[in-house]
Amino acid sequence: MDFHRTRYRGAAFTLPELLVGMAIAALCGTALAGFLFQFSRNSTAIVSFTSVNSTDRHSLQRVARDFREADSFFYLSPSNISLNVNGDDVELIHDPLGKSLVRKTRTDSDTLLRNCETLSFSFLERNPTASSFESFLVSTSSTCRILEISWVSLVREDKKSRWTVTNSARFLNRRGLSD
């Protein structure tokens, strides 16, 4: 019997081929890990933006309802409003230290906005003139017809970044005021 040992040179990887393959796999793994990290960070931010947007929208609807139904205004300032809504005195107060917008009545207090970095109210009137729809700042609280509110909400803050949302809206009051 004749046993011949034959070598198959192509049956296994050589050391340089194995090292190149491991380097490519490590590079692909690092790229995938970076992508997944960034994806999870961005998806968390999107969830935070959605939550803040929903909260802001509900708060804005409450402010709009109060302003539209107001019979009279007692006090108007860039950070506070006092008004009479259906016989009930309502105050909207921005607390810059607590970073919140609070709605107070005689019997109740409700925080409408949280993480509210800045907030400002502008009070406008619309002077009826031919073919002009401009609004002007009010001179007295009795002439206030339009409320413009703008605020910046903090969405997320971490070591590297600070994400905020800027919102603004205008509301028209037609009730209780003489034309």
* 3-state DSSP of the chain: CCCCCCCCHHHCCCHHHHHHHHHHHHHHHHHHHHHHHHHHHHHHHHHHHHHHHHHHHHHHHHHHHHHHCEEEEEEECCCEEEEEECCEEEEEEEECCCCEEEEECCCCEEEEEECEEEEEEEEEECCCECCECCCEECCCHHHCCEEEEEEEEEEEECCCCEEEEEEEEEEECCCCCCC
What pTM was estimated for this model as a whole? Answer: 0.62
Report if residue 147 sits inside a domain: yes
* pLDDT given for residue 178 in this prediction: 45
Length of the chain: 179
CA gap 143, 31 in Å, rounded? 62
Report if residue 155 sits inside a domain: yes
Report if residue 177 sits inside a domain: no
* pLDDT given for residue 29 in this prediction: 94
Domain interval for residue 129: 11-172
CA dihedral of 93, 96, 100, 105, whole degrees rounded to 10: -20
Total number of domains in the chain: 1
Report if residue 6 sits inside a domain: no
Report if residue 2 sits inside a domain: no
Report if residue 50 sits inside a domain: yes
CA gap 80, 93 in Å, rounded? 5
CA gap 7, 21 in Å, rounded? 24
Per-residue pLDDT of the chain (179 residues), as tens digits, is: 566 666 665 567 788 888 999 999 999 999 999 999 888 877 877 777 777 777 778 888 888 888 888 887 777 788 888 888 888 888 888 888 888 889 998 888 888 888 888 888 887 776 655 555 666 666 566 667 778 888 888 777 777 777 777 777 777 776 644 44
Report if residue 101 sits inside a domain: yes
* Interacting residues of 26 by C-beta distance below 8 A, sequence separation 6+: none
Report if residue 179 sits inside a domain: no
